[in-house]
A and B are shown apart, each in its own frame.
Chain A
């Protein structure tokens, strides 16, 4: 498995959201330049999985998304946040309002 989510970005619109599967997994949201703004996950209580979670962000500050279907959504989510901190020195902008209680270090 690749460490970083380096799939191409998809524009975040109502139309593209409809094509996202309802599965569990992790996702990233970015601005126009591809700067990651948020790392999120669709967990076991997400009503429509990735589609439901990513769909909530349509019309917000993020304009693009990419995702990974993954049943290990909790650990993968932590891993992506840890990698972001390792790469940039800080949490993604939109994760800072509700930071994880504890986050490991990688590197």
Chain B
């Protein structure tokens, strides 16, 4: 396996790197340090620029108009795209476009017309509603939201928590229990319009991220027509799992990007800051932090590229994606923590992006399946289903 970038990959990476440094980073000087959106004029201008570069709609399949870029190259690009203050959760402030909810590619033609294509055109927004107050790590058991068939409709009752973007969405993908006797084979995935009677956003859930919140939802006799079932009845869990596995690679890549930037800043600062008559870079304890950062970075990078490589070759990559997610989220947290230490007091100020990355990286060890769940997934694969 050769994970050295090809000449073409190097060129693409260099183009994205320049875009981030020349176009994105300078705009951040005028934004709130926790901001996650550009002013609309800048956003539109940069979207046009990305289109002209041929990179717009990066995670949209080629068949739907996305660029023909393989998964390894996309991973390398994702590592570059997060190297700015808002980059972890809003790489390049979304100017590379996106597919939104990957599950919609599995929708039928009529559903694609109503939800997927308007989403790709930027006319509709969706949310992903899996987690419930009863727990998110093991949704197959925890989902209590019920969907009961009534004529040609399903009637949903229940609650969801930590759902990002539901208050601004036009529709959402909601998982509900349709057969209480069948565990993971009794869950169905529904597309729910947010203007349907019985759909409520009950509150905003504030987290470490100041810029963006999650929401708590309640469904009260929410009537969803059968034509809004995504996939098959009682087969919704496969759709949820597929999405979670695929998402882990770019999720890991984003963490690596900010950690790489933090390491760059750390090396530069250590060469410039003097204490007790010497620059910090001459102190062994500081050198070791930089070396430990590099080990964390390279381990994360190789595991993530290896997962991308397997996915690209069409081989099973669940263990690799889980390992990449686990290692990259934990290692990048350590890198940014050491970077803050080397920067001293400045490290925790809002003058530098380190404190934002520090807060946001903490969430990455929980979102998209916490570290313990990643270990569980790998153990299942390694030992062979013993924990099912």
Using CB atoms and an 8 Å cutoff, list the residues of chain A in contact with chain B. 1, 3, 43-45, 71-76, 78-79, 82, 101-107
Contact = CB atoms under 8 A, between A and B. Distances in A.
A43 B34 contact: yes
A106 B211 contact: no
Contacts of A106: 167, 201-204
B107 interface: no
Given A43-B32, A82-B167, A101-B40, A72 B203 contact: no
A76 B34 CA distance: 13
A75 B211 contact: yes
A75 B103 CA distance: 28
Given A82-B167, A105-B194, A106-B201, 17 more contacts: A44-B32, A44-B33, A44-B34, A72-B213, A74-B35, A75-B204, A75-B212, A76-B206, A79-B204, A79-B206, A79-B213, A102-B168, A103-B168, A104-B168, A104-B204, A104-B215, A107-B200
17 contacts: A3-B203, A44-B34, A44-B350, A72-B210, A74-B32, A75-B206, A78-B204, A78-B213, A101-B37, A103-B168, A104-B167, A104-B201, A105-B194, A105-B201, A106-B201, A106-B202, A107-B201
Given A82-B167, A105-B167, A74 B34 contact: yes
Interface residues on chain B, size class: 20 to 34
Contacts of B34: 43-44, 73-74
Q: Is chain B's binding surface mostly helix, strand, loop or mixed?
A: loop
A104 B167 CA distance: 5
A106 B168 CA distance: 9
A75 B213 contact: yes
Given A44-B34, A45-B33, A79-B213, A72 B206 contact: yes
B198 to A, nearest CB: 13
**Chain A at the B interface: mostly helix, strand, loop or mixed?**
loop
Given A78-B204, A104-B201, A107-B200, A73 B37 contact: no
A79 B211 CA distance: 12
B362 to A, nearest CB: 14
Contacts of B202: 106
B216 to A, nearest CB: 10
A94 to B, nearest CB: 19
Q: Which 8 A-B pairs rank lowest in CB-CB distance, beginning with the nearest?
A: A104-B167, A44-B33, A44-B350, A75-B213, A43-B32, A79-B204, A72-B206, A72-B210
B210 A73 contact: yes
A79 B202 CA distance: 12
Interface string B15-40: 00000000000000000111101001
A105 B215 CA distance: 11
A45 B37 CA distance: 16
Interface in B186-204: 194, 200-204
B203 A74 contact: no
Interface in B201-233: 201-204, 206-207, 209-213, 215
Nearest to A45: B32
Nearest to A3: B203
A71 B34 CA distance: 10
A59 B374 CA distance: 57
Contacts of A101: 37, 40
Contacts of B215: 104
Nearest to B36: A74
Interface in B133-173: 167-168
A104 B165 CA distance: 8
Contacts of A44: 32-34, 350
Nearest to A79: B204
A76 B209 CA distance: 11
Contacts of A76: 206
Nearest to B213: A75
Of B34, B35, B40, B350, the most chain A CB neighbours within 10 A belong to B34
Nearest to A73: B210
A74 B206 CA distance: 10
A44 B85 CA distance: 13
- Looking at B167, B200, B211, which has the most chain A CB atoms within 10 Å of its CB? B167
A12 to B, nearest CB: 24
Interface in B29-54: 32-35, 37, 40
Contacts of B210: 71-75
